[in-house]
Amino acid sequence: MFERPHHGGNLGWAAEMAGCPAFSLLDFSASINPLGPPAAVLAAIESALPALHHYPDPQYVRLRQAIADYHHLPVDWILPGNGSAELLTLAGRTFAGLDCTYVVGPAFGDYGRSWRGAGAKLKTITWQVNQPWPWQKLRSLSEITDSITIQPQKRGLILNNPHNPSGTLLPREEILALLPHYQWVLLDEAFMDFLPPGEEQSLVSHLEEHPNLIILRSLTKFYRLPGLRLGYALGHPDILSQWQAWRDPWPVNVLAEAAAITCLEAEEFRQQVWQWLPPARTALQKDLASLPGLLPLASQANFLLVKTAIPAPELQQELLIKCQILIRDCLSFPELVQDFFRVAVRTVADNQKLTQALATVIATARS
């Protein structure tokens, strides 16, 4: 028996629920770019197969240089990792030295996993997803701290931008204004690639001015390579050297390394995604909003968070059993639970299948 998933993309559990093979499912639960992976990346993986006879370069010189060139940073400000999960585990150890770390919830569940595993204290600042972002609380924590105020040099902050699961894009200047209030700030930019350079709000260009800032990036979502497990951290060399000393050797395999280097060269593919996503997301949001009982929130990422009058687990089960379509319930987000579900933006044809299936399921539930 498969356990109920805490992340999207758990096709084993969903296939068991739907009574069909996993490959038969239409998966909207994992926010993965349907246009990828680029053909050049697949070719690079194939070309790297002979390298399986050898260990990876433990310093990842070529990969770190490629990432450094892409972001216009010194190479010693780069640390590749085995997906964001490994890097978050390392971050938890760093933040365990603080009195408390604050995170705005709802938030990605792996933050809690990593902090608990490191024995670090994590406190959630609850945010209502249809309300303004709690900037004032984050600047002045006297309202939310315990009886003894935690000094800036003893507290940390986790933010992700665009925010997961809402898709809200946080302004760069607002985040910059928070940095002096915390000893460490972890900024998860896993979905930032989905915005073109003129619209993104990344802090990568400000990184060298702020040694207390650590940025996490992912190559698996935008380039559709979640099975390769590839991400990287950007931060001051001192903290990244500490992370390198803590972890096991060779966390990135040679196929992932080859894929990553080629991904960073895929400018034509990036342009294609930036042209595809906004109209596809707008159309899906409009179609979902036309269904009774559904309210999709505005998003700047490749997914939509949807408020539902019918409990999300019920919708999820009906869609699986009757339509072999998987959506992401939000039971793992304590602030959302059964009142919301999340869906990835997929191709136009797939998005239409989703809205048609939802229309049928909702009509049956309301009859």
Write out the DSSP string of 80-116: EESHHHHHHHHHHHHHTTSSEEEEEES--HHHHHHHH
Query: Contact at 8 Å (CB) between 185 and 156?
Result: yes
- Residue 259 confidence class, pLDDT cut points 50, 70, 90: very high
Q: What is the pLDDT of residue 11?
A: 79
Contact 29, 344 (CB under 8 A): yes
pLDDT average, residue stretch 332-350: 95
Least confident of 50-59, 100-109, 146-155, 314-323: 146-155
- 192-199 contacts, C-beta under 8 A, 24 or more apart: 192/161, 192/162, 192/217, 193/217, 193/218, 193/221, 193/222, 193/270, 194/33, 194/162, 194/222, 194/273, 194/274, 194/277, 194/300, 194/301, 194/302, 195/162, 195/169, 195/274, 195/300, 196/270, 196/274, 199/300
C-alpha triplet 119, 122, 125: angle, nearest 5°: 175
Q: Model's pTM, two decimal places? A: 0.94
Residue length of the chain: 367
What is the predicted pLDDT for the residue at 4?
Answer: 60
Contact 339, 308 (CB under 8 A): yes
pLDDT of residue 150: 61
Residue 217 has pLDDT above 50, yes or no: yes
Does the structure show a pLDDT above 60 at 219? yes
Between 16 and 229, whose confidence is greater? 229
pLDDT given at position 18: 80
Structure tokens at 42: 């697949």
- Give me the pLDDT at residue 156, please: 96
The pLDDT, as a whole number, for residue 195 is: 98
Helix, strand, coil % in the chain, rounded to nearest 5: 45, 15, 40
Q: Do 256 and 231 touch, CB atoms closer than 8 A?
A: no
pLDDT for 8 equals 58
Give the pLDDT confidence score for residue 366 in this predicted structure: 76
pLDDT at residue 75 tops 90: yes
Q: What is the mean pLDDT of residues 144-162?
A: 75
What per-residue string of b and e applies to 106-139 under the rule 16 or more CB within 10 Å gives b? Answer: bbbebbbebbeebebbbbbbebebeeebeeebbe
Q: What CA–CA distances, in Å, run from 65 to 79, 84, 241, 248, 257?
A: 10, 19, 16, 21, 12
Percent of the chain residues past pLDDT 90, beyond the cut: 87
If you average pLDDT over every residue of the chain, what do you get? 93
Q: Is pLDDT at 198 greater than 80 in this prediction?
A: yes
Query: Residue type for 338, please?
Result: Q
pLDDT for 147: 40
Higher pLDDT, 169 or 152: 169
Residue 15 confidence (pLDDT): 81
Q: Which residue has the higher pLDDT, 140 or 32?
A: 32
Please give the average per-residue pLDDT across 291-295, as a whole number.
Answer: 98
pLDDT greater than 60 at residue 143: no
